[in-house]
Amino acid sequence: MAKLRSDITKQGLSRTPHRAFMRAMGLDDEALAKPMIGIVSMRGEQTPCNMTHGFQVEAAKQGVAEAGGTPREFTTISMSDGIGMNHEGMKFSLVSRELIADSIEAVVHGLAYDGLIGFGGCDKTLPGVMMGMLRCNVPAVFIYGGSALPGRFAGRDVTILDSYEGVGAVMTGAMDEETLARLERSCLPTIGACAGQFTANTMAMASEALGLSVPNVSMIPGVYVERANYARRAGAIVMEAVQRGGPRPRDIVTRVSLENACAVVAATGGSTNAALHIPAIAHEAGIRFDIDDVDAVSRRTPLIADLRPGGRFTAKDVHDVGGTAVIIRALLDGGHIDGSCLTVTGATIAETYGAAPRPDGAVVREAGAALAPDGGLAVLKGNLCPDGALIKVAGLATLVHEGPARVFECEEDCVRAVEARAYEAGEVLILRNEGPVGGPGMREMLGVTAVIYGQQMGEKVALVTDGRFSGATRGICVGHVSPEAAVGGPLTLVRDGDRVRIDIPNRRMDLLVDQSELAARRAA
């Protein structure tokens, strides 16, 4: 084996104190001679999403040791988007992604580790870990900790989204509080991330399409013991990469692999948050990739997976029909992703996924029998969003909505109005000052959108914001409006009663007010 990166901490007379620190942790001469492999996770009690990491981390450590390395475990922070939702805590959610990447970079560079295995769980941890991998650019493998099993309630599968929407149902009298209390205790029966194709599962699939992940691990439920085998394999994969000198993350993440990731997001009706995270991952690889690139891929990629929140099925259902590999195989067969891209194993996407099972026809379809001809995300432009806005269209029946605006200056004002049912069918709820600058922090709005849906108003009103939405959000919800209100974007000009038109087929969102009137408002 060539000289190791970690030798700078271990070899020579001057490193006597360094070795003493390591010996204090139980390392002997044999362990000190081997590659040092960092293993980062978020195991802890902040959120059920990361509580599956424990046994998998132990398996990864075993895999590293069996392959001739010395595993070095460390942890980083994690928010819980669920517990942080709908209050000031959500302002810390998106920024936690950067904190995770920063902390991984600090440890891997600071301790000169030779390789890295990174676990993700709750939403922002997945892009945060992948961003950290790219910054460090040592041989690295990503592995998602897995989602929770769906619950069973009233004879049907339920997820955490049902509890959010149940709040709105109680407000309208469609459900009583006793029933909601039973649902609360049924909707999340195990640890693991949210069970639908929300942000965590979306980015888990994207990690496979990027080539950064252990193949076909993403949709295995987090409590399934077979995950230990995949985690152990991660140890073998990273050690092979260290011994070969690659591939490294920046060898794997290219413009084409980023497009592959976007294709999987589009094909599965994935989270709008992917349009934030994939460009951020690209940035760490030195690649300019923006919301228009995401839209271009979505326009040419069919929707082939019938997944919640817009569809019927959960991550477990995808696992039961063959996992993410089935989706990637279908997209390969349809010519919607590039099979020549590299993966962490050293094999290509086509070599890794080309022989996967074919779609079952219900959970996942062939590209030629798609649910829709284009993907689950759409970027809108227009005089209300000159730099773009984003909407999830998977499962959406209403593609054009025009109505009068009702303006709110922050999320709390909108929540109070919605809870009081102080809004009307046909309206466009404008929720401004919630962008990255205005929030600050660009909060998710699942609390308000789920209540609207629970009140049976899901596609009867639209919600437009410079904030963002949870991957669990459904309905006519337009987020990421840019420029945001806090920097003088057109949302600042909207007044109660102004007509707003959302036209998804034509990718437009416009404020239907004369330009002279808008100019006068801006000058006032």
Successive 10-residue mean pLDDT values, the chain, 524 residues: 91 98 99 99 97 99 99 98 95 98 99 99 98 99 99 98 95 96 98 98 99 99 99 99 98 99 98 98 99 97 97 98 99 99 99 98 98 95 98 94 98 96 97 98 94 93 97 94 98 98 98 97 93
User: Could you tell me if residue 19 is inside a domain?
Assistant: no
User: Which range of residues forms the domain containing residue 214?
Assistant: 34-146+193-369
The CA distances from residue 513 to 5, 401, 496, in Å, are 62, 16, 12
Does 340 lie in the same domain as 263? Answer: yes
Cα(125)–Cα(137) distance, integer angstroms: 18
User: Could you tell me if residue 181 is inside a domain?
Assistant: no
How many Cα atoms are found within 13 Å in the side-chain-facing hemisphere of 10? 22
Q: What is the pLDDT of residue 487?
A: 98
Amino acid present at 235: G
Overall domain count for the chain: 2
User: Could you tell me if residue 188 is inside a domain?
Assistant: no
Domain boundary among 369, 394, 409: 369
Does 495 lie in the same domain as 446? Answer: yes
Domain boundary among 334, 369, 404: 369
Q: What is the pLDDT of residue 191?
A: 99
The CA distances from residue 36 to 61, 109, 135, 470, in Å, are 11, 12, 18, 37
Match 């492999």 to its residue by tokens: 37
Amino acid present at 220: I
Does 355 lie in the same domain as 286? Answer: yes
| CATH at residue 439 | 3.50.30.80
Contact 455, 421 (CB under 8 A): yes
Domain boundary among 332, 348, 369: 369
Nearest to 72 by CA among 26, 138, 121: 26
User: Could you tell me if residue 1 is inside a domain?
Assistant: no
Q: What token pair was written down for 122?
A: 């709750």
Q: What is the pLDDT of residue 1?
A: 57
Nearest to 129 by CA among 137, 114, 119, 139: 119
Does 353 lie in the same domain as 390? Answer: no
Does 320 lie in the same domain as 386? Answer: no
Q: What share of the chain is helix, strand, coil (3-state, %, to 5)?
A: 40, 15, 40
Terminal alpha carbon distance of the chain? 70
| CATH at residue 39 | 3.40.50.2300
Beta-strand pair 388-392/377-380: antiparallel
Q: What is the pLDDT of residue 2?
A: 73
Does 362 lie in the same domain as 284? Answer: yes
Does 313 lie in the same domain as 213? Answer: yes
Cα(30)–Cα(26) distance, integer angstroms: 11
H helix or E strand, kind and range, residue 178 = helix 177-184
Does 245 lie in the same domain as 200? Answer: yes
How many Cα atoms are found within 13 Å in the side-chain-facing hemisphere of 300? 13
The CA distances from residue 515 to 230, 284, 384, 493, 512, in Å, are 58, 40, 12, 11, 9
Does 484 lie in the same domain as 393? Answer: yes
**What is the reported pTM?**
0.97
Q: What token pair was written down for 317?
A: 């259902």
Match 């949302």 to its residue by tokens: 491
Catalytic residue among 6, 78, 96, 470: 470
Q: Is position 103 annotated as part of the catalytic site?
A: no
Does 460 lie in the same domain as 363? Answer: no
Does 334 lie in the same domain as 396? Answer: no
Q: Which residues sit opposite 462 in a β-bridge?
A: 428, 476
